[in-house]
Amino acid sequence: MPSIATPAQVAADLTELWSPRVVAEVDDSYVKVAKVHGTFGWHAHDDEDELFFILKGQLRIEMHAGAVELSAGDVYVVPKGVQHNPVAHEECHIMLIERKSTLHSGNVVTDKTRSLADQLRPV
C-alpha cells in the first residue's frame, strides 16, 4: 500500500528545531519538513537549488543581494551557489525540496548541521 504523508502534521509534531525530516522522495530529490525558530546561519549549496515552501508562519531568507520575506503558502527557490541565511522570528514550519546530495548546512558545519541519517529518522 502506498505511503501517505501529511507535511503540515509531521512538521507540527517535530520536537527539534532546524532538524529536517524526510517525508517523501521524488526521483533524485527528498521532500523534507522542519520546524524552525531563530537564525540558521549563512551557508550555500554549491551544486543544488533549494526550494522552501512555508507551511505555517513566516520565514526571512537573507542573501547578500537582498532578502525575501515568505509567509504561509509561499514558495521560494534559493539558486545553487547563493549564500543564504534563513531566519524565523517566531516558530515557522517549512517544507523543503532538495536533491538527495544536498548537505543540510551546505558548505559549512555548525551545531545545527544534521546528517542524512538524522533526517531519515522516523518522527
The CATH number of the domain holding residue 95 is 2.60.120.10
What is the Cα–Cα distance from 91 to 35, expressed in whole angstroms? 7
Residue 114 included in any domain: no
The three three-digit cell numbers of residue 105, written as one number: 548546512
Contact (Cβ atoms closer than 8 angstroms) between residue 54 and residue 92: yes
Domain, as residue range, for 12: 7-103
DSSP code, position 116:
H
Residue 113 included in any domain: no
Domain tally for the chain?
1
Instruction: Give 110's pLDDT tier (boundaries 50, 70, 90).
Output: confident
What confidence tens digit (pLDDT) does each residue in 14-59 have? Answer: 999 999 999 999 999 999 999 999 999 999 999 999 999 999 999 9
